[in-house]
Copies of this chain bind each other. A is one copy, B any other.
Amino acid sequence: MTVGLGEFGRIRAYFAPLAGPGGLGLLDDAALVACAPGRQLVMTVDAIVAGVHYLPDDPPDLVARKLLRVNLSDLAAMGARPLHYLLTTALPASHDDDWVARFASGLGEDQRRYGVDLLGGDSVSTPGPAIFSLTAIGEVAEGAEIRRSGACPGDRIWVSGTIGDAGLGLAVLKGGYATLPAAQRAALAERYRLPEPRVTLGPCLAGIAHAMADVSDGLLADLGHICEASGVAATVAVESLPLSPAAAAAIATAPEARARLAARARLAAMGDDYELVFTAPPGADEAVASAAAEAGVPATAIGTIASGEGVHLVDEAGDPVAIDGTGYRHF
């Protein structure tokens, strides 16, 4: 039997160095968060379970970074700038100090990247699989938050970056798309393993976007959440979906035009993109382009909001395209 650092030792060795000033060295009962005048705080929490949300033998630093990033994506979707986080770890005995050290090292790397710090947390033991819960805290000017409920008929629908890469990446990791070049397979897998939350674009869209969500359940599902919250309908043109070169190559492996259209439609039902889907009035096209340029992330217009309900995917002729993918529930 090897004797490890124990809970307090791990906190001191691995997590205390991640703490910001408000974390009080992780030595107190709670943490302090200042709030500048005219700002409000934005909070979200997401949890992951070993064997459910990630593979038990995934590298610990990647597990930590993905956990942090999916939460930062939720903040970005409100137009908020990320500030801090709290972390709960529930670990089985099989996770030794080295595992925790590598997990904390991944957190440290992404902390520096995104300019956030650790406020506090809790560590518990479990006889079950490892579970992590992260609470992220950001800030936005009072009244400047972008909710899901603000979409208006006539709004254009936009999405950042490219769609479907993460879903295809998961398929690649399971052995799919074996005929694609190795570099494209790697690019898709990377999008699944380590999403890039749009933390810069989100806040740039304050005052421009009417409604916003991040694409975690799938573009159509998350757009469906916006429609439901706003009481509107959405029409999305399948041909306008922005694809990466690797995703376009994956689509091109389908044998004929109708199968390629169906494959493209399925991308809109795949999750884990962590792009931003948002609506803005037609007059805001230039402002959206300018925000996207400032953030260094492309934004593509993919459809329009109308009165009614539901999300409707259409082809170039305006005819409905059926979705046979998973993750999409018609609202």
| Interface residue ranges, A against B (CB under 8 Å) | 24, 27-35, 37, 39-49, 51-53, 74-75, 77-78, 80, 86-88, 90, 119-122, 124-129, 131, 133, 135-138, 142, 145, 147-149, 212-214, 225, 228-229
Contact = CB atoms under 8 A, between A and B. Distances in A.
Contacts of A212: 29
B29 A34 contact: no
A60 to B, nearest CB: 18
Nearest 9 interchain pairs by C-beta = A128-B128, A35-B35, A30-B44, A29-B77, A88-B133, A33-B41, A133-B133, A29-B74, A135-B135
Contacts of A225: 27
A3 to B, nearest CB: 15
A53 to B, nearest CB: 7
A135 B74 contact: no
Contacts of A90: 47, 49, 90, 131, 133
B129 A43 contact: no
Given A86-B135, A131-B131, A52 B119 contact: no
Contacts of A122: 45-47, 133
A32 B40 contact: yes
Nearest to A145: B32
Contact of A52 (B34, B88, B124): B124
B39 A78 contact: no
B78 A30 contact: yes
B148 A27 contact: yes
Contacts of A28: 78, 147-149, 229
Contact of A43 (B52, B53, B137): B137
B124 A131 contact: yes
Contacts of A48: 124
Contacts of A35: 35, 39-41
Q: Which of A27, A37, A126 has the most CB of B within 10 A?
A: A126
Contacts of A126: 49, 52, 128-129, 131
A124 B41 CA distance: 25
A148 B32 CA distance: 13
A46 B46 CA distance: 15
A105 B221 CA distance: 30
Contacts of A51: 127
Nearest to A51: B127
B128 A127 contact: yes
Contacts of A43: 30-31, 33, 86, 119-120, 135, 137
Q: Which of A29, A51, A88 has the most CB of B within 10 A?
A: A29
A74 B213 contact: no
A236 B130 CA distance: 40
A223 to B, nearest CB: 13
Nearest to A228: B27
Contact of A75 (B30, B77, B129): B30
Q: Which of A35, A39, A145 has the most CB of B within 10 A?
A: A35
A41 B86 CA distance: 14
B47 A124 contact: yes
A80 B44 contact: no
